[in-house]
Structure 1
Amino acid sequence: MNPIDHNVAPEEIDKFSALAHRWWDENGEFRPLHQLNPHRLQWIRDHVDLHGKSVVDIGCGGGILSESMARAGARVTGIDLADASLQVARLHALDAQLEIDYRLVSAERYAEEAPAQFDVVTCMEMLEHVPDPASIVQASATLVRPGGWVFLSTLNRNAKSYLFAILGAEYIMKLLPKGTHDFAKFLQPSELAAMGRRYGLEVADIAGLEYQPLSQKFRITQDPSVNYLMALRRPAQ
């Protein structure tokens, strides 16, 4: 393996490849992503007008976020290392008559190929699935243009997130398959912010994503104690 492609967890690629055919089943394993996607899209749009913007979606999977950004007028490139997921994404975009450039490439390699080429970089629900999340943050900082935005989301690491995101979501409510998350890979907001600063990004905003069991819906909150979103900017030069 080329050193630039070091940041790969084969078991994670296999996990998502095995579920690739379920990406667009809104009642299947990816139901939580479909439920939260309108909220994360709106949060992005609250910070930047996506119309006409060039966007790269890191860890795009089957294209749930990529498609919603394309519908908002963005020129979207989706990258992932699970080829089966990308095949599903391409077929679904074709059926939806959306032009999205899906590529089988790592964030680190693509950052070498296309530095400072994007107005917006997104990486949602992926950092907790890679061995080296700082490497993804560095690639994001490289891909974004000066003055551009980087939007990240992941899970906080504390007792509450273990209770809600693992015990609650995977074992009690069965929202996610058991073993979806590894608590040791969760990142506290302070840790993620420090990674961003290390690579020249400034934190602009942090918000929480809260699941409400009674309504079975998500909402944006000011509490980042479990799921959270972080908006960062590369200073204009």
Structure 2
Amino acid sequence: MTSKLNADPAELAKFSDLAHRWWDKEGEFKPLHQINPLRLDWIRQTTQLNGKVVLDVGCGGGILADSMAHTGASVTGIDLAAKALRVAQLHALEAQTPTIQYQKISVEALAEQQPESFDVVTCMEMLEHVPDPSSVVHACAALVKPGGWVFFSTLNRSAKSFLFAVLGAEYVLNLLPKGTHEYAKMIRPSELAAYCRSAGLDLRDAKGMEHNPITQRYWLSADTSVNYLIATQKPMDSEK
């Protein structure tokens, strides 16, 4: 059984205090709204979502979860920030989002309850906010069905990332609230790849996400030096 909750109370409080702003597309979470179409399209290019059972780990106010549900997926969003979940539930009611539910539970606890229950698992912009990201990766691997896909996105721990994602985004351009990211918690792609291999996931693709602060444009590229996404797949039992 999971003995210690893999969550930082300060991080939960930080996002709970901003919960009412999740769906303000010009507020603190504007960058998430701007990158969400990129994330969604990349996932859909990799695997079909329509008719699939999907889990969004660290769903927050439900930006990605809601958009996946509108593609025809049956989505469960989980988080430990109760206020953010209430906002997500309210938005789902207002938007009349089909086949979506939210639950306050840790990914490790859910993995114990429902192993190999999901066709697709997403965990976006969450790993850099927990004490033990490897534990989250292993839980995501346990939750996905053999042959299913697990998608992660996070921030690289690099000098360029510190310059652009922390100093630039939070203190110069005010794109994010100050203190959103801690440099020490950022994760190098090689580290995340090692977590995935240890959890039995095969790395299938990796993309970087770039941003032009003048034009406010985001795009995917091969440059993983700041923000990056990876797609992994759980082997079928016969492939192990």
**Distance in 1 separating the partners of 2:140 and 2:217:** 29
TM-score (normalizing by structure 1):
0.98
Q: Which runs of 5+ in 1 are unaligned?
A: none
TM-score (normalizing by structure 2):
0.97
Q: Is the 8 A contact 2:208 2:223 kept in 1?
A: yes
One-letter code aligned to 2:68? M
Task: Tell me the residue number matched to 1:192.
Answer: 192
Shift of 1:6: 2.1
Specify the SS of the correspondent of 1:167.
helix
Shift of 1:5: 4.4
Aligned residues: 236
Shift of 1:100: 1.0
**Distance in 2 separating the partners of 1:218 and 1:136:** 27
Task: Tell me the residue number matched to 2:85.
Answer: 86
- 1:156 aligned to 2:156? yes
Alignment of 1:118-197 (within 5 A): 118-197=118-197
Q: Which runs of 5+ in 2 are unaligned?
A: none
Task: Tell me the residue number matched to 2:222.
Answer: 222
Q: Is the 8 A contact 1:156 1:227 kept in 2?
A: yes
**Distance in 1 separating the partners of 2:142 and 2:112:** 8
Task: Tell me the residue number matched to 2:68.
Answer: 69
One-letter code aligned to 1:151? F
Task: Tell me the residue number matched to 1:34.
Answer: 33
Specify the SS of the correspondent of 2:110.
helix
Specify the SS of the correspondent of 2:147.
strand
One-letter code aligned to 2:73? A
**Distance in 1 separating the partners of 2:172 and 2:196:** 34
C-alpha deviations, 1:167-220, integer Å up to 9, x for none? 110011110011110000011101000000001001000001111112112111
Shift of 1:49: 0.8
Q: Is the 8 A contact 1:121 1:144 kept in 2?
A: yes
Shift of 1:27: 0.5
Specify the SS of the correspondent of 2:103.
strand
Q: Is the 8 A contact 1:4 1:108 kept in 2?
A: no
Q: RMSD in angstroms over aligned alpha carbons?
A: 0.9
Q: Is the 8 A contact 1:5 1:109 kept in 2?
A: no
Shift of 1:166: 0.4
- 1:12 aligned to 2:11? yes
C-alpha deviations, 1:59-115, integer Å up to 9, x for none? 000000000100111100000000100000001001111131100000000001110
Specify the SS of the correspondent of 1:179.
coil
Shift of 1:4: 4.0
